[in-house]
C-alpha cells in the first residue's frame, strides 16, 4: 500500500511545478521534523502536526498529540476525508485528490499561506547581528594593518632614505621630532641626549649594527685598551664599540663596569701576556697589589719609577722642594704677619675643577703672605718675582742702583752720596761712581743672601750656583711636583668629600713607626683614653702599652674632652671596647693629620688597605659582607680605554695635557675639566 | 559527553602553558645580561622575542585552522584549548621579552595591541562560557527565527482584529507594526533592550484607547490587547537574545582586527629593530 504526496509550488509567473513522493505504508505524518513521511519545512508547523491514514473505511486526517488541524476551514481533531477536502496543516493546504492507479490515496501539499511579508519586512527593518558598514571585521583588520604599517614602518623608512635628510653637525639644532623616533626602543643615556633625536647619527646603514665609524665621528680620540700590535687578543680586536656600549637602556652611563670585563684577562694576566709588566689582579678585595706611586727616580734625567708603598726602602718623592708638613700644622698655629695662625689642610689644598684632583699649590697664592721674598730690610715692600731667578737678580741690581742714584737711602752705613737729601743738588762723576760701586756691592751681598741663606729661595728650593766673583750665577732647581702619584687609577676627591683628609692622608699606615712617634708628640689625651679602656686583649693591649709611653708628652687640649668622653663611654659599657678603639683611632687620625710628616719627600698616600676599609671587591651577592661596604669593581677606579695608548682612530692627535708650571704629568688623564673629554675621547662636538 | 575547552584533555594545554611560563620566568630570573639591564636586545631577549613571535603567529593561525574542518592530527578542540592557554602564557613571555621597558614607540605599541588581543580573547572565553546557557533559557527551546515568525503571525492576527475596531486603534496597531525594528545599532543590541520600543508604546496606547470601545467590541479589544502583550513579551525576548548574541560576537570585532593590527605592528617592530640594529 502506498500514498502519493505531491508537493505543489506556484511560481510568481503563474506556472505550477510539482514534486512527487511515494510513501510506502498506510499512514503519512506531516510535520517540521525531518523524519516525518511528509516533511514540511516551515516554522509555523509543529514537529509532528498531522497524519493522513488510509483505513478500511476511508481516508482519515488527524492531529497528532492534540495538535490542531482544520478540514475545510473547521478545526477538528480527527475527520474522515473525501476527495477534494482540504486539510489545513499550519500554513499548508493538504488536499485529498483522486489517487492514480497503484496508490491507495493521493494528496497535494501546497504552501497556501506563505510566510508573510510581515516577517520579511520585520527582518528587513531589523539589524540582527553586529556587522555593519563600519563594524566589519575584514575592513577593520585591513584598515588597522595598513594604518600601522604605513605609520610605523613606511613613514620612518621613507624619512630615512629621504636624500634631504643628513645628520646635522650642529648638535644644538637637532631637537625636532622625526618619524623614526617612533622606533626608539628606550631612553638614550644622558651623555648622548644631545643627539638623541638623530637616529641616523649612529644608525647609519640599514640592517647593519652600529659601526665604529659612527662612534668615532665624535669620540675621535678614544684610546685603545692595549697596544693592538702587541696584544692581539680577540677580546680587544674583534669587537664593535656597540658590543660593550649598549644604548637605549635609560639615562645611566653605557659603559661596562662589571668585574668580568677586566678579570677575564687580568685575573690570570701572566698567562695571557707574558711580556707585560702589569701585575695580575682579579678582585680589589682579594688580590689587588699594593699601590705603586710613580715617583721621580732621577730628576735630571727625568726618569720615573713605580715603587710599591710596601717596598723597602719606601718610595720617596724627589720634587726638589723643602716643605715640612709638621712645621706648618703645629697645633697652636704658626707665626704669620698677623700673629699666630693655625693652618689646616684646606689652607693650601683645594679641589681642582672637575672634582678629581687637588689644585696645584702656588707660591703667590699660598706661600707669599708669610714667605714674602723680601731682600732688603729697609724696603720690606719690595718683593722678588717668584719663579724667575734671572729676573730676581736683575731686580736686586736695579733696586740698589736706583737707590744709590736717587739718594736718601736710610742706612747709616751707606756712603754719604747715597744718603744725601734728594733734590736739585747735582752729583759729580766721582760721587756717581762711588754710589754705583756701593750699589754693586749691596746687590751682590743681597743676591748672595737671597740665594744662599735659607731665608728666601733656599727656604723651599734647591739653589745652584756656577762661576765665581762677579760672574757667579745663581739658579733654582725647577721643582717637579707630582700631579698624580697613581695615574693609572681615577680617584675623585669630590666623591670622598664625606671623609676627613686625615682619614687617608694623615695616617701613613705603611709607616706605623713614624706615625707612632708623632702620636707621642700630639696625643697624650688619646693615651689617657686608651689606658682607661677596661680590656687589655690583643691589639688593644699593644696600643695600651704604647700609650703608657706617650703619656708623659705635652698634649693638645683640643683632644682632651672627646678622649675623656670616649674613655668614659667605654668604661661604663655604653660603647663596646672594639668600637671604642675604632673611635679612638679616628680621633688620633683627626688630630695627628698630616702633622707627622716632617719631610717633603714623604708620600702621604694611604695603602690599599685603607681603601678596603670602605671599598670591598665585586660583592654583588654576599652573605658575609658587612652592609656598610661598597662593592667596587675594577671600573670603580680604572678606565678601560687607556689614554697612554694610541687613539683608536690614529689619524687624530692625542689630547694635550695641562700646562701648570712646576708640575709634571705622570701619564693618565688631564688635570682639569678636560678629564671627562679625554676619557670619552671627545674633543669637540663640531660646533661651528 | 561535553567537555569544556578549558578542561579539555585534563587541562593538558594549561599544564603545557604553565610549564612554558615557569621555564621562561626562571631563565629570566637567573639570566644576568653582560651589559645593561634586562631588555629585548640581549641573547635571552632575542630568544624570548622569537618564542613570542612564533606563539603569536601560531595563535593567529587559529583563524585559518578553524575554517578548515577535519584537517590535521589535532582536533579543533585541541587547537582552541591550546589557543586559550598559550595565549594567556604569551603575556608572560612577551612581558619578559620587554624587560619591563616601555615607552611611546612602535615596540610598546605591539605589546599593547597584544595585551588588548589577549584581553578581548579572555572576554571571549568568558562569553562562550556564560551566554549560550542564558540564550537557551531565554528562548525556551525556540530559535530566533521562530520567535520572529511568531511576532509576524501575531501582527497578522492583530491587524485582522484591529481592522474592526475603528481607525484610531487600527492606525495605532499599523504604525507600531511598521515602526518595530529589532536589534539596530551595536550599542542597542548589546544593551538587550530598547527604551523607545514601538510595540510597548502601542500596547499602552491601545490599552488606553480600548477603554472607549463600545461594549460590543470589548471582547475584540481584549483579544487585541492580549495579542499585543504577547508580542511585547516576544519582542523583549528577541532583544535579550540579540543582546546575548551581541556579547558573544562583539569581542571578535576587537580580537580579529587587533590581531591583524598586532601582526602589522610586529612586522614594524621586527623590521625596525634590525633596520636600526
One-character DSSP codes across A572-605 = TTSS-HHHHHHHHHHHHHHHHGGGG--STT----
Domain check: are B159 and B216 in the same one? Answer: yes
Q: Mind telling me how many Å the CA of A119 is from chain B's nearest CA? A: 5
Q: How far apart are CA A118 and CA B156, in angstroms?
A: 7
Of A87, A115, A143, the last residue of a domain is A115
User: Which residues of chain B does A145 touch, with a Cβ-Cβ cutoff of 8 Å?
Assistant: 260-261, 263-264
CB contact under 8 A, B271 and A153: yes
Alpha helices in chain B (DSSP H): 8-30, 43-65, 76-98, 106-139, 144-162, 167-179, 186-191, 198-210, 218-275
> Is A264 part of the contact surface with chain B (CB cutoff 8 Å)?
no
Angle at which helix A577-592 crosses helix A538-550, to 10 degrees, equals 40
pLDDT tens, position by position, B128-181:
989 999 999 998 878 888 888 888 888 888 887 887 787 788 888 888 888 888
Give the gyration radius of chain B's Cα atoms: 28
Confirm or reject contact between B277 and chain A (CB < 8 A): yes
Q: Would you call A54 helix, strand, or coil by DSSP? A: strand
Q: Which of B43, B70, B101 is the last residue of a domain?
A: B101
Task: Give B99-113 pLDDT, tens digit per residue.
Answer: 999 999 999 999 999
B198 touches chain A (CB under 8 A): no
- Rounded-to-integer distance, Cα B5 and Cα B7, Å: 5
> Kindly report the CA angle at A178 between A176 and A180, in degrees rounded to 5?
150
Q: Tell me the chain A residues in contact with residue B155 when contact means C-beta distances shorter than 8 Å.
A: 116, 118, 122
Q: Which residue of B has its CA nearest to A199?
A: B276
Instruction: Provide the residue count of chain A.
Output: 688
Q: Would you call A184 and B37 a contact, using CB atoms and an 8 Å cutoff? A: no
The alpha carbon of residue B151 is apart from the nearest alpha carbon of chain A, in Å, by: 8
Nearest to B98 by CA among B85, B86, B82, B115: B115
Residue A201 lies in a domain: no
Judged by CB atoms closer than 8 Å, whether chains meet at B253 and A207 is answered as no
Q: How many domains, in total, are found in chain B?
A: 2
User: What does the mean pLDDT of chain B come to?
Assistant: 88
CA distance A33 to chain B (A): 14
Q: Which of B46, B59, B87 is nearest to B260 (CA)?
A: B59
SS3 A229: coil
Q: How far is CA A279 from CA A273, A291, A294, B53, in A?
A: 10, 11, 15, 49
* Domain span at B151: 144-248
Closest by CA to A41, choosing from A69, A9, A75, A16, is: A9
For residues A73 and A88, is the Cβ–Cβ distance under 8 A?
yes
Secondary structure (DSSP) of A276-333: --PPP-S-HHHHPPPP--EEEEETTTTEEEE--TTSSSPP----SB---HHHHT-TT-
Question: Rounded to 5 degrees, what are φ and ψ at A204?
Answer: -85, -35
CA-CA distance, B81 to B84, in Å (whole number)? 5
Whether residue A502 lies inside any domain: the answer is no
Interchain contact B153–A (C-beta under 8 A) = yes
The verdict on residue B133 lying in a domain is no
Which among A196, A206, A193, A244 is positioned nearest to A222, based on CA atoms? A244
For chain B, say whether A385 makes contact (Cβ under 8 Å).
Answer: no
* Residue A45 belongs to domain spanning: 2-115
Domain with A71 in it: what CATH number? 2.60.200.20
Cβ burial of B193 (10 Å; 0-12, 13-18, 19+) is exposed
* Residues 175-194 in B contacting A (C-alpha not used; CB under 8 Å): 177, 180-186, 189
Q: Using a CB-CB distance cutoff of 8 angstroms, which residues of chain A are in contact with residue B227? A: none
- Cβ–Cβ contact A208 with B under 8 A: yes
Q: In 3D, which of A221, A299, A661, A273 has the Cα closest to residue A483?
A: A661
Residue A331 lies in a domain: no
| Domain end point (choices A436, A465, A481) | A481
Please name the residue ranges forming H helices in A551-576: 557-571
Non-local (6+) Cβ contacts of B194 within 8 A are B184, B188, B239
Nearest to B276 among A115, A183, A186 (CB): A183
Which run of H or E residues covers position A428?
none
In a domain, B96, yes or no: yes
The strand pair at A2-10 and A16-24 is best described as: antiparallel
- Report the DSSP pairing between strands A481-482 and A663-664: parallel
CA distance B7 to chain A (A): 29
d(CA B114, CA B258): 8
User: B39–A245: do the CB atoms touch at under 8 Å?
Assistant: no
**pLDDT attached to residue A419:** 82
> Residue A653 in 3-state DSSP?
coil
User: How many angstroms separate the CA atoms of A345 and A594, rounded?
Assistant: 8
- Percent of chain B clearing pLDDT 90 (strictly above): 44
Contacts of A185 in chain B (CB under 8 A): 39-41, 101, 103, 105, 107, 273
B37 contact residues in A (CB cutoff 8 A): 249-250
Q: Burial-class residue B181 by CB neighbours within 10 Å (0-12, 13-18, 19+).
A: middle
Chain B residues with CB inside 8 Å of A203's CB?
275-277
Q: How many whole angstroms separate alpha carbon A520 and alpha carbon A548?
A: 10
DSSP states of A442-484 as a string? HHHHHHHHHHHSTTTHHHHB-EEEES-GGG-EEEEPPP-EES-
B9 min Cα distance to partner chain A (Å): 32
Complex ipTM over 0.85? yes
Does residue B124 surpass a pLDDT of 90? Answer: yes
Nearest Cα to Cα of residue B59 among B93, B36, B30:
B93
Is A249–B37 a contact, with Cβ atoms under 8 angstroms apart? yes
> Is it the case that residue B271 has pLDDT exceeding 90?
yes
Determine the angle formed by the axes of helices B106-139 and B218-275, rounding to 10 degrees.
Answer: 160
pLDDT for A653 equals: 35
Chain B partners of A146 at a C-beta cutoff of 8 Å?
Answer: 264
Contact A144 B276 (CB under 8 A): no
Whether the ω angle into residue A313 lies within 30 degrees of 0, i.e. cis, is yes
CB-CB neighbors (< 8 A) of B186 in chain A:
130, 132, 135
Residue B271 lies in a domain: no
What DSSP element (H or E) covers A12?
A: none
Please answer whether residues A677 and A655 qualify as being in contact, where contact means their C-beta atoms are separated by less than 8 angstroms: yes
**B6–chain A nearest CA distance, Å:** 26
Q: End of a domain among A115, A135, A152?
A: A115
A140 chain-B contacts, CB cut-off 8 A: 253, 256-257
Question: Which residues 34-53 of B have a C-beta within 8 angstroms of A?
Answer: 34-37, 39-41
Cβ-Cβ contacts under 8 Å, B245 against chain A: 129
d(CA A596, CA A263): 38
Closest chain A residue by Cα to residue B247: A130
Residues B97 and B175 in one domain: no
Q: Which residues of B touch A256 (CB under 8 A)?
A: 34-35
Using one digit for the tens of pLDDT, what is the confidence trace for A478-488?
Answer: 888 877 788 78
Of B109, B156, B257, which has the smallest distance from its Cβ to A116's Cβ? B156
Q: Is residue B83 part of a domain?
A: yes
User: What residues of chain A score a pLDDT lower than 70?
Assistant: 12, 43-44, 114-116, 133, 163-175, 331, 424, 506-596, 619-628, 643-688
pLDDT of residue A527: 58
B183: which DSSP letter? B
Closest chain B residue to A187 measured between Cα atoms?
Answer: B103
Helix (H, G, I), strand (E, B) or coil at A335: strand
Task: Identify whether the C-beta of residue B85 lies closer than 8 Å to the C-beta of residue B13.
Answer: yes
Q: What CA–CA distance (Å, rounded) separates A291 from A605?
A: 9
Does the beta carbon of A312 lie under 8 angstroms from any beta carbon of chain B? no
Closest CA to B77 of B144, B4, B167, B134: B4
Asked if A130's CB is within 8 angstroms of B186's CB, the reply is yes
Helix, coil or strand: residue A10 = strand
Q: Which of A642, A664, A596 is nearest to A295 (CA)?
A: A664
User: B241: nearest CA in chain A?
Assistant: A128
CB A366 within 8 A of CB A348: yes
**Distance between CA atoms of residues B115 and B103, nearest Å:** 15
Overall average pLDDT of the B188-201 stretch? 88
Partner-chain contact A152 B109, CB within 8 Å: yes
Q: Is residue B167 included in any domain, yes or no?
A: yes
A442 belongs to a structural domain = yes
CB-based contact A118 B155, cutoff 8 Å: yes
Q: Does B75 touch chain A (CB under 8 A)?
A: no
- Using a CB–CB cutoff of 8 Å, tell me whether A199 touches chain B: yes
The structural domain count of chain A equals 2
Q: Is A515 helix (H, G, I), strand (E, B) or coil?
A: helix
Q: How far is CA A659 from CA A316, A349, A483, A682, in A?
A: 24, 19, 11, 20
**Of A119, A137, A258, which is closest to B256 when you measure between CB atoms?**
A137
Q: Is residue A455 part of a domain?
A: yes
Domain boundary among B79, B101, B123: B101
In this complex, do A210 and B277 lie within 8 Å of one another by their Cβ atoms? yes
CA atoms within 13 A on the CB side of A202: 24
Nearest-CA distance B243 → chain A (Å) = 9
d(CA A164, CA A503): 60
* Residues of chain B with C-beta less than 8 angstroms from the C-beta of A128: 144, 182-183, 242
Starting at the edge strand found earlier in the chain, the sheet holding A58-63 runs A38-39, A27-31, A50-55, A58-63, A78-81
B115 in a domain, yes or no? no
Average pLDDT over residues B14-38: 90
Residue B127: inside a domain, yes or no?
no
Exposed e or buried b per residue across A139-174, where buried means at least 16 C-beta atoms within 10 angstroms of its C-beta: ebbeebbeebbebbbeebbebbeeeeeeeeeebeeb
B189 chain-A contacts, CB cut-off 8 A: 127, 130
Nearest to B149 among A44, A180, A183 (CB): A44
Cα separation, A499 vs A7, whole angstroms: 109
Q: For residue B122, is it within any domain?
A: no
For B204-220, how does the pLDDT look when each residue is reduced to its tens digit (9 = 90+)? Answer: 988 888 888 888 888 88
Q: Which helix (H) or strand (E) holds A19?
A: strand A16-24
| CA angle centred on A152, ends A147 and A156, rounded to 5° | 130
Shortest distance, CA B18 to any CA of chain A (angstroms):
29
Q: Do A203 and B276 touch (CB under 8 A)?
A: yes
Mapped onto helix, strand or coil, the DSSP state of residue B14 is helix
Do B182 and A126 make contact, defined as CB atoms within 8 angstroms? yes
Amino acid at each position: 500500500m502506498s500514498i502519493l504526496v505531491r508537493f505543489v509550488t506556484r511560481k510568481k509567473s503563474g506556472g505550477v511545478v510539482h514534486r512527487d513522493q511515494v510513501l510506502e505504508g498506510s499512514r503519512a505524518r506531516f510535520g517540521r521534523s525531518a523524519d516525518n513521511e511528509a516533511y514540511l519545512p516551515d516554522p509555523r508547523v509543529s514537529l509532528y502536526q498531522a497524519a493522513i491514514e488510509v483505513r478500511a473505511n476511508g481516508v482519515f486526517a488527524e492531529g497528532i498529540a492534540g495538535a490542531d488541524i482544520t478540514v475545510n476551514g473547521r478545526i477538528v481533531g480527527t475527520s474522515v476525508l473525501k476527495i477534494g477536502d482540504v486539510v489545513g496543516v499550519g500554513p499548508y493546504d493538504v488536499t485529498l485528490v483522486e489517487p492514480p492507479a497503484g496508490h491507495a490515496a493521493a494528496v497535494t501539499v501546497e504552501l497556501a499561506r506563505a510566510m508573510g511579508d510581515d516577517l520579511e519586512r520585520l527582518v528587513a527593518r531589523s539589524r540582527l547581528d553586529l556587522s555593519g558598514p563600519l563594524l566589519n571585521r575584514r575592513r577593520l583588520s585591513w584598515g588597522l594593518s595598513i594604518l600601522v604599517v604605513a605609520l610605523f614602518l613606511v613613514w620612518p623608512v621613507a624619512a630615512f632614505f629621504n636624500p634631504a635628510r643628513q645628520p646635522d653637525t650642529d648638535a644644538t639644532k637637532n631637537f625636532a621630532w622625526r618619524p623614526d623616533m617612533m622606533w626608539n626602543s628606550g631612553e638614550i643615556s644622558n651623555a648622548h641626549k644631545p643627539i638623541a633625536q638623530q637616529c641616523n647619527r649612529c644608525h647609519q646603514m640599514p640592517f647593519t649594527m652600529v659601526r665604529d665609524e659612527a662612534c668615532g665621528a665624535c669620540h675621535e680620540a678614544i684610546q685603545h685598551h692595549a697596544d693592538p700590535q702587541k696584544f692581539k687578543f680577540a677580546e680587544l680586536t674583534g669587537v664593535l664599540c656597540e658590543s660593550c656600549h649598549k644604548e637605549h637602556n635609560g639615562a645611566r652611563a653605557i659603559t661596562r663596569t662589571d668585574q668580568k670585563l677586566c678579570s677575564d684577562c687580568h685575573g690570570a694576566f701572566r698567562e695571557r701576556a707574558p711580556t707585560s709588566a702589569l701585575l695580575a689582579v682579579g678582585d680589589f678585595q682579594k688580590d689587588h697589589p699594593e699601590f705603586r706611586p710613580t715617583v721621580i727616580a732621577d730628576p735630571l734625567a727625568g726618569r720615573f719609577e713605580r715603587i710599591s708603598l710596601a717596598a723597602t726602602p719606601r718610595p720617596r718623592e724627589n720634587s726638589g722642594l723643602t716643605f715640612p708638613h709638621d712645621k706648618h700644622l703645629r697645633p697652636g698655629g704658626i707665626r704669620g704677619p698677623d700673629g699666630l695662625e693655625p693652618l689646616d689642610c684646606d689652607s693650601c689644598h683645594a679641589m681642582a675643577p672637575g672634582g678629581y684632583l687637588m689644585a696645584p699649590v702656588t707660591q703667590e697664592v699660598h706661600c707669599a703672605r708669610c714667605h714674602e721674598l723680601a731682600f732688603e730690610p729697609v724696603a720690606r715692600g719690595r718683593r722678588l718675582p717668584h719663579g724667575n731667578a734671572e729676573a730676581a737678580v736683575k731686580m736686586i741690581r736695579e733696586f740698589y742702583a736706583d737707590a744709590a742714584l736717587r739718594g736718601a737711602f736710610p742706612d747709616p752705613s751707606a756712603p754719604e752720596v747715597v744718603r744725601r737729601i734728594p733734590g736739585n743738588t747735582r752729583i759729580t762723576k766721582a760721587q756717581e761712581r762711588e754710589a754705583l760701586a756701593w750699589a754693586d756691592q749691596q746687590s751682590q751681598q743681597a743676591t748672595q743672601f737671597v740665594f744662599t741663606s735659607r731665608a728666601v729661595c733656599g727656604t723651599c728650593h734647591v739653589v745652584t750656583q756656577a762661576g765665581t766673583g762677579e760672574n757667579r750665577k745663581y739658579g733654582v732647581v725647577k721643582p717637579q711636583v707630582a700631579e698624580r702619584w697613581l695615574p693609572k687609577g681615577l680617584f675623585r676627591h669630590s666623591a670622598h668629600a664625606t671623609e676627613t683628609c686625615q682619614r687617608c692622608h694623615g695616617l701613613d699606615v705603611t709607616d706605623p713607626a713614624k706615625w707612632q712617634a708623632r702620636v707621642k708628640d700630639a696625643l697624650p689625651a688619646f693615651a689617657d683614653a686608651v689606658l682607661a679602656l677596661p680590656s687589655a686583649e690583643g691589639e688593644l693591649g699593644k696600643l695600651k702599652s704604647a700609650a703608657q709611653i706617650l703619656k708623659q708628652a705635652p698634649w693638645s687640649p683640643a683632644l682632651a674632652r672627646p678622649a675623656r668622653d670616649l674613655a668614659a663611654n667605654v668604661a661604663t659599657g655604653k660603647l663596646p671596647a672594639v668600637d671604642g678603639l675604632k673611635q679612638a683611632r679616628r680621633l688620633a687620625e683627626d688630630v695627628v693629620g698630616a702633622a707627622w710628616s716632617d719631610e717633603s719627600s714623604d708620600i702621604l698616600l694611604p695603602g690599599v688597605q685603607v681603601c678596603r676599609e670602605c671599598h670591598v671587591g665585586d660583592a654583588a651577592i654576599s652573605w658575609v659582607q658587612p652592609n656598610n661596604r661598597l662593592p667596587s669593581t675594577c671600573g670603580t677606579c680604572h678606565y678601560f680605554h687607556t689614554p697612554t695608548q694610541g687613539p683608536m682612530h690614529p689619524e687624530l692627535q692625542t689630547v694635550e695635557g695641562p700646562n701648570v708650571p712646576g708640575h709634571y704629568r705622570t701619564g693618565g688623564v688631564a688635570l682639569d675639566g678636560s678629564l671627562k673629554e679625554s676619557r670619552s675621547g671627545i674633543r669637540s662636538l663640531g660646533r661651528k | 559527553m561535553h567537555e569544556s575547552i578549558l578542561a579539555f584533555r585534563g587541562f593538558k594545554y594549561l599544564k603545557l602553558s604553565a610549564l612554558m611560563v615557569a621555564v621562561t620566568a626562571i631563565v629570566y630570573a637567573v639570566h644576568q645580561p653582560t651589559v645593561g639591564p634586562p631588555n629585548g636586545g640581549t641573547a635571552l631577549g632575542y630568544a624570548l622575542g622569537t618564542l613570542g613571535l612564533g606563539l603569536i603567529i601560531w595563535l593567529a593561525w587559529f583563524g585559518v585552522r578553524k575554517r578548515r574542518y577535519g584537517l590535521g592530527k589535532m582536533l579543533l578542540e585541541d587547537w582552541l584549548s591550546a589557543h586559550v592557554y598559550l595565549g594567556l602564557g604569551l603575556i608572560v613571555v612577551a612581558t619578559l621579552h620587554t624587560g619591563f621597558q616601555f615607552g611611546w614607540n612602535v615596540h610598546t605599541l605591539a605589546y599593547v595591541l597584544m595585551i588588548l588581543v589577549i584581553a578581548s580573547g579572555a572576554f571571549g572565553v568568558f562569553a562562550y562560557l556564560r551566554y549560550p546557557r542564558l540564550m537557551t533559557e531565554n528562548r525556551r527551546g525556540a530559535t530566533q527565527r521562530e520567535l520572529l515568525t511568531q511576532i509576524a503571525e501575531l501582527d497578522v492576527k492583530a491587524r485582522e482584529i484591529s481592522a474592526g475596531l475603528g481607525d484610531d486603534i487600527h492606525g495605532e496597531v499599523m504604525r507600531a507594526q511598521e515602526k518595530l525594528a529589532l536589534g539596530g545599532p551595536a550599542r542597542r543590541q548589546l544593551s538587550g533592550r530598547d527604551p523607545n520600543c514601538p510595540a510597548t508604546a502601542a500596547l499602552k496606547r491601545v490599552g488606553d484607547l480600548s477603554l472607549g470601545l463600545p461594549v460590543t467590541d470589548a471582547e475584540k479589544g481584549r483579544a487585541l490587547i492580549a495579542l499585543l502583550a504577547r508580542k511585547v513579551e516576544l519582542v523583549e525576548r528577541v532583544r535579550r537574545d540579540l543582546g546575548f548574541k551581541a556579547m558573544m560576537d562583539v569581542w571578535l570585532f576587537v580580537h580579529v582586527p587587533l590581531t591583524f593590527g598586532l601582526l602589522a605592528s610586529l612586522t614594524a617592530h621586527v623590521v625596525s629593530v634590525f633596520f636600526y640594529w
